[in-house]
Amino acid sequence: GAGVSQTPSNKVTEKGKYVELRCDPISGHTALYWYRQSLGQGPEFLIYFQGTGAADDSGLPNDRFFAVRPEGSVSTLKIQRTERGDSAVYLCASSLYHTTVNEQFFGPGTRLTVL
Amino acid sequence: AQTVTQSQPEMSVQEAETVTLSCTYDTSENNYYLFWYKQPPSRQMILVIRQEAYKQQNATENRFSVNFQKAAKSFSLKISDSQLGDTAMYFCAFMKHQGGSEKLVFGKGTKLTVNP
């Protein structure tokens, strides 16, 4: 079946602009995660959805970052007033939710460049 | 807060040989999971192997095995019979056990190059 998809694969924007990054999880996966990977670093957690609600948004760096998942499937990460420091690869992952841990399946990421 | 440390930024190995990647972590949790992920240049993170902390037996997946030392908080990855396709970034990751999906905490990664 289809894996996690993310669009666009690359996004170039100017400082101060607004951007939206989209994630399509694997069908039936109720858990969805956003991570940010800066150059030369490991991914850092941003937010986790269980269904439509954000179960953990402790990784969002500030109030310019916001994410939604209105129907419990597709998620959009929104960044307002972009800054050069926001340049990174934004990774999305999804998993099934059970009482034991399940593998997180990652998408190919969106490379965001803020000029 | 949990931290994951990978002290080897880069490593190289000859094809068909064995290489070990190091990982240490810090946590006060007793129940947790540890993972090794592979990230090739395509950016797609792929799960290589995982270990439940409550299991004493080290996990193995074909050519990949781990040496899990809970008391030392060490979780190294051994790749046997290295192949050119193993060239990638490798990330060690930690997850608390909270009855379901949880966030992953990653190390900074080790860049592995397999030479022909």
Which domains are assigned to chain A? 5-9+22-106 (2.60.40.10)
Give the other-Cβ count within 10 Å of B45's Cβ: 30
Contact state of B95 with A101 under an 8 Å Cβ cutoff: yes
Angle at alpha carbon of residue B80, lines to B96 and B59, rounded to 5°: 30
What integer is the mean pLDDT of A78-87? 97
Helix H or strand E encompassing A112? strand A110-114
pLDDT digits (tens, 9 = 90+) for B50-64: 999 988 899 999 999
B4-43 pLDDT, tens digit each: 999 999 999 999 999 999 999 999 988 899 999 999 988 8
Residue A27 CB partners (closer than 8 Å, separation 6+): A1, A2, A73
pLDDT in tens, B49-106: 999 998 889 999 999 999 999 999 999 999 999 999 999 999 999 998 765 558 899 9
| Among the partner residues B43, B45, B100, nearest to A97 by beta-carbon distance | B100
Nearest to A31 by CA among A59, A53, A7, A51: A51
Domains parsed from chain B with CATH numbers = 3-115 (2.60.40.10)
Compute φ and ψ for A40, nearest 5 degrees: 75, 10
Tell whether B50 lies on the interface with A, counting CB pairs under 8 A: yes
* B45 contacts A93? CB cut-off 8 A: yes
The rounded mean pLDDT for chain B is 93
Rounded to whole angstroms, the Cα distance separating B29 from B10 reads: 29
Task: Look at B102 and A48 and tell me if their CB atoms are within 8 Å.
Answer: yes
Q: How far is A57 from chain B (nearest CA, A)?
A: 10
Q: Cis peptide before B9, with omega less than 30 degrees from 0? A: no
State the pLDDT at residue A80. 97
Is B85 in the A-facing interface, judged by CB distances under 8 Å?
no
- The answer to whether the Cβ–Cβ distance between B108 and A41 falls below 8 Å is yes
